Amino acid sequence: MKYIYLCLVGLLLFSSCKTATVPTANVVYQTTANGCIQARCIGLGDKQQTAIEDAEKNMLRTLLFRGLPGSGQETPMISTDEAQSEQNNPDYWNTMWGESKRYKTFIQASIPVSDLQKHSKGVYSMTVDVKVNIKALRMDLEKQGLIRRFGF
């Protein structure tokens, strides 16, 4: 009887503990029009601008290395995995994600749809609608030799 009582008390204490769940790099397809894909993305950061930039990067990384279900780009644009591609082409990826923020040239719009939300000490998230010019991105990847031209 004492054992059952201790188990119930332990279960009650365990279930009353709150854990903060931090959103991951969720990217949900919305629309495609005129060579652009729009998706709702979650970005993490300590400030609004940092969270928006993280959402933009999440969108591009999803298109490049994972594909976006429901869109016209359901398969990854780059057939190698992310780590291998960044190792094989460090100059391209350093300019893409680095201080020059070249990835922003492919972003048509970034519209915040939520406020910055606190999840735990120093961890904030924001939901952003991100629109990417997929045609320009594909042409750039072809020009840099990261992907082959369609049909060749």
The amino acid present at 131, given as its one-letter code, is K
Q: What is the pTM of this model?
A: 0.81
pLDDT tens column, 5-43:
544 444 444 444 444 444 455 899 999 999 999 999 999
Which range is most confident: 5-14, 94-103, 141-150? 94-103
Pairing of strands 27-33, 36-44: antiparallel
H helix intervals, 66-133: 82-88, 90-97
